[in-house]
Chains A and B, each alone.
Chain A
Amino acid sequence: MKVQTIILAAALYLAPGLLNAQFDFKVGERDIQIHSFAAQGFAYSNDNNYLTMDTSHGSFAMTDGGVNIATSITDKFRVGAQVYDRNIGQLGRGTASLDWAFGDYKFKDWFGIRAGKVKTALGLLNDTQDMEFLHTWAILPQSLYPLDLRSNTIAHTGVDVYGNISLAKAGSLGYTAYYGARAIDTHSGIYFAAADAGNPIVTMSGKTAGADLRWNTPIQGLMLGGSWSKQTEDFVVTVSTYGNIPLSGTFTPQHSTSVYGDFARGRWHFNGEFRKNREILEASLFGVPSVSNLGDKGLFLTAAYRVTKYLELGTYNSRYYVDAPTDLRPQANHIFDQTVTARFDINKWWNVKIEGHFINGFGDTYSAHGFYTRNNPDGLKPTTNIFVIRTGYNL
């Protein structure tokens, strides 16, 4: 394990304890809250290395955490910010970044505005994907929430309008609509995949606009929702086969459509989501235009049962499909993952998860869903079994 990883892990674990004393304090008449979380994992796989970690030899390079501060300036106006840091294999590389930072003015319960850097409401889990303590799983279904591509969708710098509308006996409807710029992490899977394919990325940036609707139905514990998001992504890569000449391109169109549901009743918790990403890449080399379909789709279904206050058991099936794989091997057009998990809640703030992943397929060169040539120089095997243990806490 790198020294950098050890220092990062130690800092993230110490920070909440140090901050605990000032978890909630007053300045004038206003409460200020500080919260933090941290997690450390270990992953061991039988064959393929996963998520840019050296999992075939066992890897502790799975550390992340964040700290936030927030307060209400008035009854209607809140401000806050969170810093997030992760070191998962080569993803993130321990570079702290501003996760969210915004002002939030709530005119009415049915209409508010957030401006700044805001977590993007896309699908069931996009905005909470980093907070492992909120979920049963050590690793979320990677078909829709790949750790590699986190920065593509996690937040935007712009503006949200949001609200909650009572539907009386029909429940309530929460909505969010947004527009802003996306910042894509240079230590993310899309950079690794492009480099592996011989086209390292020089620049990449884009914008996003979209909306999310969540219906809290009158059936206790049942929520249904849908999201639609349009993205732009302009980039310049170099083409190694032609002497590293620059190539620019854009995705036309690029959008995501998602439907999802969540049902919790008693000791049971189920949820699921289906998402279709349409991505048509247009580029031109030596004046010759090219069009590539980089679209994909995925779904997952989960079930979890709370056995005791201290133990929850769960399983999910996650399925990822590549629309038009460039790699013609049969395992390149999909990644299917059957996962089983035991989550132990030591107390309200600290949990340990033990998880097994049984994966079939490895996706396409451009998928950036866990499997890369650079980590698997001897070639990818058709199946991968992975054992993960992850512990985390939050205050």
Chain B
Amino acid sequence: MKTLKCLLIVVAAAFGMTSPIQAADVKVIANSSVKADSISADELKGVFLATKTSLSDGSHVEPVLEKGGATHEAFLKAYLGKTDAALNTYYRSLVFTGKASMPKTLGSDAEMGAYVAKTKGAIGYVSAGASPAGVKTLEMK
């Protein structure tokens, strides 16, 4: 039984299933031009995988990513189900076939907040404790 338990832990670790989803650690923010006050997980995933360029209310949106760090990792795990490397590969497959542009990447919550505040249609994320000025927080449906 102990062996079986160890085996299950090893398998779970190999498939990246050991950490719980950490959506609560992340806050989704948007430029004030985005009319919606909330967004579904499916819509958010579509926006960040470049299959969705507008929300159901008609607002044009474009994703903004952090370059790395705990908030970035938590966002990817909670909403996209991809590692940073896998997301990079995904975007490059779009860029080098002409299907999308590489999204803007920023180095910190402060940079993210400032960029989203001034960029029409921008959607990004910051750590739950951050309160950047001039942006709206989108509730998750």
Q: Enumerate chain A interface residues (CB-CB to B < 8 A).
A: 24, 31, 33, 35, 37, 66, 68, 70-72, 75-76, 78, 80-82, 100, 102, 104, 106, 108-109, 118-119, 127-128, 131, 133-134, 164, 166, 168, 172, 174, 220-221, 264-268, 305-306, 309, 345, 348, 394
Q: State the CA gap A172–B14 with chains docked (Å).
A: 27
- Is A109 a contact partner of B42 (Cβ separation < 8 A)? no
CA distance A66 to B97 in the complex (A): 11
Tell whether A37 pairs with B42 under 8 Å between CB atoms, given A75-B60, A268-B14.
no
Beyond A102-B98, A268-B14, is A348–B51 a contact (Cβ under 8 Å)?
no
Q: Contacts A33-B101, A266-B15, A267-B15 given; 4 further ones with Cβ under 8 A?
A: A80-B98, A108-B54, A128-B96, A164-B46
- B107 near A: Cβ within 8 Å? no
Which listed residue (A35, A76, A119, A168) contacts B95, Cβ 8 A?
A35
> Which residue of chain B has the shortest Cβ distance to A71 in the bound complex?
B101
Contacts of B17 in A (CB 8 A): 265-266
Q: Within 8 Å of chain A (Cβ to Cβ): is B16?
A: yes
* Docked-complex contact A265 and B16, CB < 8 angstroms: yes
Q: B14, A109: Cβ atoms under 8 Å?
A: no
Q: Is the beta-carbon distance between B42 and A220 smaller than 8 angstroms?
A: no
The minimal Cβ–Cβ distance linking A309 to chain B, given in whole angstroms, is 8
A85 CA to B84 CA, complexed, in Å? 29
B97 contacts which chain A residues (CB < 8 A)? Answer: 100, 119, 127-128
B51/A82 in contact, CB under 8 A: no
B134 / chain A contacts, CB cutoff of 8 Å:
none
- 23 A-B residue pairs with Cβ-Cβ distance under 8 Å, sorted by A, are A33-B95, A35-B96, A35-B102, A68-B95, A71-B101, A75-B53, A81-B98, A104-B98, A106-B53, A109-B46, A109-B52, A118-B98, A128-B93, A133-B89, A134-B93, A220-B81, A221-B81, A265-B15, A265-B16, A266-B14, A266-B17, A267-B14, A394-B96
Q: Please indicate the chain A residues that have their CB under 8 angstroms from the CB of B16 in the complex.
A: 265-267
**Given B53, B89, B98, which contacts A109 in the complex, CB threshold below 8 Å?**
B53
Q: Which of A72, A108, A166, A168 contacts B101 (CB 8 A)?
A: A72
B residues 64-112 in Cβ contact with A at 8 Å: 81-82, 85-86, 88-89, 92-93, 95-99, 101-102
B124 within 8 A of A: no
* Bound CA–CA A68/B98 (angstroms): 8
A residues near B42, Cβ cutoff 8 Å = 166, 168, 172
Interface pairs A-B: 6 shortest CB-CB: A266-B16, A266-B15, A164-B51, A75-B60, A220-B81, A80-B98
B113 sits at the interface (CB 8 A): no
Residue of A nearest to B15 (CB): A266
A84, closest chain B residue (CB): B96
A348 to nearest B CB, angstroms? Answer: 7
> Which residues of chain B have C-beta atoms less than 8 A from A68's C-beta?
95-96, 98
| A172 in contact with B96 given A109-B46, A166-B46, A220-B81 (CB within 8 Å) | no
Q: List A contacts of B54 (CB < 8 A).
A: 108-109
Shortest CB distance A234–B (Å):
28
Q: Verify if B63 is at the interface (C-beta below 8 Å from A).
A: no
- CA of A252 to CA of B102, assembled, Å: 42
Do A131 and B92 touch (CB < 8 A)? yes
State the CA gap A268–B15 with chains docked (Å).
7
Which residues B1-34 have CB closer than 8 A to chain A? Answer: 13-17
Question: Which residues of chain B come closer than 8 Å to A109, judged between CB atoms?
Answer: 46, 51-54
Q: Which of B46, B89, B98, B121 sits near A70, CB closer than 8 Å?
A: B98
**Which residues of B are found within 8 Å of A134, using beta-carbon distances?**
89, 92-93, 96
CB distance from B104 to the nearest CB of A (A): 8
